[in-house]
Amino acid sequence: MEIQKKIQDIKKLIPDNVSLVAVSKTKPIEDLQEAYDAGQRIFGENKIQEMVEKYDALPKDIKWHMIGHLQSNKVKYMAHFVDLIHGIDRFKTLKEINKQAKKNNRIINCLLQAKIAKEETKFGLSFEEISSILESEEFAELQNINIVGFMGMATFTDDKNQLTEEFTALKNFFDALKSKHSNLEILSMGMSGDYELAIENGSTMIRVGSAIFGNRNYKP
């Protein structure tokens, strides 16, 4: 019941054009089933093996999003079903996804992860790196992936000015590239602590875990 209420509360706060990814990493199948019964259909996981186990156990109309940092050698385990891959920050990973998508006769939708946080530890590509990937001939040859947008993780801080600055920078970059690359339509920004601010600053997809499922016992 708790999970259902939290999903309903969040849905009331977000506009129709923003999708909610329920981040269910580390949580048991029963919790995901409860969210599913409340109408939730998009789930985000950060470990491929865990996502595969949950995919096998749960209804097949769920859209599975991989939001974690990817190990290329594991892409093959999810290539037949993954709906969207958020955290791509190397060209090499795109090549591997393309190869596995081709084997499965699919086109896999992907988001490039932009580095927007000032913290040193966060993964992600610079805006220049993203532009050069999208312009490159090597990229044009990858027929089985579709880059549909960008993903960003802001600094872990309560400083609203800093968060706004980071979200806005990615939104402006996204808008600038959208005019040249018509496939770009998704801007994945915002988590439990900052999704309202992310939406105010242009997010079209939020990734919310603890605000739905409660705190996780171990670190993501």
Ligand X SMILES: *Cc1c(COP(=O)(O)O)cnc(C)c1O
Total count of residues recorded for the chain: 220
Residue numbers of the site for ligand X (CB under 6 A)? 23, 25, 46, 67-68, 153, 191-193, 207-211, 220
Give the C-alpha separation, 86 to 99, whole Å: 17
Q: In this complex, which beta carbon is closest to ligand X, that of residue 147 or of residue 211?
A: 211
Q: In this complex, which beta carbon is closest to ligand X, that of residue 193 or of residue 202?
A: 193
Q: In this complex, which beta carbon is closest to ligand X, that of residue 104 or of residue 192?
A: 192
User: Shortest gap between Cβ of 55 and ligand X (angstroms)?
Assistant: 18
Element at 148 (helix H, strand E): strand 145-152
Q: In this complex, which beta carbon is closest to ligand X, that of residue 60 or of residue 219?
A: 219
User: Shortest gap between Cβ of 216 and ligand X (angstroms)?
Assistant: 7
CA distances in angstroms from 150 to 167, 176, 216, listed in the order given: 12, 12, 26
User: Shortest gap between Cβ of 44 and ligand X (angstroms)?
Assistant: 7
Give the C-alpha separation, 6 to 2, whole Å: 6
User: Shortest gap between Cβ of 117 and ligand X (angstroms)?
Assistant: 12
User: Who contacts 130 (Cβ-Cβ below 8 Å, separation ≥6)?
Assistant: 112, 114, 150, 173, 177
